[in-house]
Amino acid sequence: MGTHGGRVALTGLFLALLAGCGAAPRAVEVTESGHASGAAAQRGGSVGAAGSACELPVVFDIAKGWKAEAVDGLAAVASAGTDSDITEEVVDGLLRQGPVTMVCEIDAKPAGNIGYLRAWTGRPGSGDARAVLQAFVAAEDNTGGAAYRTFTAGGLSGVRVDYRYTSKLLAETKKESALAVVTPKGPVVLHLGGLDSAEHDEMLPAFELAQDSLRSR
């Protein structure tokens, strides 16, 4: 069973932003390599290293204006209070998708878009990059049109997928993208999700910046 709806309810992400508005959408052509043919995203820093907003098994660059924040399930339980039905087990289930758990989200809103680049990690031995990514997409439910391709960056070999997700709640279909690499500390998945396909296209250069700049710690 997918956890897409539960994650949104827990972290107050997309639905809380429905009343907002992003930058005006622009047409983005995708090349055979999977990269958008529009202008490249301007680098605004990096995450993953010790002391950064999110410590991960990998390091990658984030687009200018995007804000990274670690996702702490235990903190969510604590902030819910003793009268809440939210438990550590519930939170873990909501933040988990397939073999990986959300540990970092990078908000595009400060840069003018409605969406997030999220990082997920798993335990060593979860499978190769393609198997991890396929399990991640399958756990989301209501997905289709998945196109997988391999890539290399910073000495890492990975797999990327571009696909479509249909929300039962909103009755809309939108583009999403994700990639996976496997490190000695376990797999890492980066997922780009926006309010709609127009937002996704606007944010795609930021996702590609992260992909191209991936390197091990």
pLDDT (average), residues 59-79: 81
**Residue-wise pLDDT tens digits, 81-122:** 555 555 556 566 678 999 999 999 999 999 999 999 999 999
Quick one: pLDDT at residue 116?
97
Angle among Cα 211, 216, 217 to the nearest 5 degrees reads 130
39 versus 28: which is more confidently predicted?
39
Mean pLDDT of the residues in the chain? 81
For residue 211, pLDDT beyond 90: yes
83 versus 186: which is more confidently predicted?
186
Give the number of C-alpha atoms closer than 13 A to the C-alpha of residue 103, restricted to the C-beta side.
Answer: 21
Quick one: pLDDT at residue 114?
95
Q: Which domains does the chain have, with CATH numbers?
A: 44-71+99-216 (3.40.1000.10)
Burial class (CB in 10 A: 0-12, 13-18, 19+), 28: middle
Quick one: pLDDT at residue 155?
92
Angle among Cα 182, 188, 71 to the nearest 5 degrees reads 160
**Residue-wise pLDDT tens digits, 115-160:** 999 999 999 998 899 999 999 999 998 999 999 999 999 999 999 9
Burial class (CB in 10 A: 0-12, 13-18, 19+), 194: buried
The pTM of this model reads: 0.79
Residue 28: CB partners within 8 Å, gap ≥ 6? Answer: 36, 37, 38, 201, 202, 204
